[in-house]
Structure 1
Amino acid sequence: MKRKIKRGKNQFVVKHPDGWAVKGANNKKATKVTKTQKEAIEKANEIAKNQKSDTKIQGRDTKFRGGNSYGNDPYPPKDKK
């Protein structure tokens, strides 16, 4: 029987009045506010790695433009040969 690995909250990098914020999923307050998006992405990735969760990045146009995934993927992509 496989044990389900508990994953932490996904981390979101979002625009903030003081720069860029890192917020955990469903959190009202930012975990960290930085001056640059790059700094926020680095912090979000660090947290996501520790929690085995995902990072989602909001672009300057407010649309989410990608991110990173950490931890075990129960449905990894299959190689197309």
Structure 2
Amino acid sequence: MHKILVEIYNPAAEKSYDVFIPLKSKLYEVSFLLSNAISELSEGYYQASEQTVLCDRYTGEIFDINQTVEELGLKNGSKLMLL
């Protein structure tokens, strides 16, 4: 399985996390897993919910959750934000 390393920033916790994500997974799957993991890692600062959004950290562009990571053009070193 091919994976890429991305940086996920969570403003609620004011922390960044380096995470490997699979290229062939749909973003809604990745978003769900990241949301739950960061909820645990943030020690209560971030609460996972169904309204979780993944976007580009610099442009604020919200990604289409029905596309795969590869289709979105994400690469090693991409910086994302989890809201």
- The question of a shared fold, defined as TM-score above 0.5 by the shorter chain, is answered with no
Rg comparison, structure with higher value: 1
Larger RCO (CA within 8 A; separation ≥ 6): 2
Higher share of residues assigned strand: 1
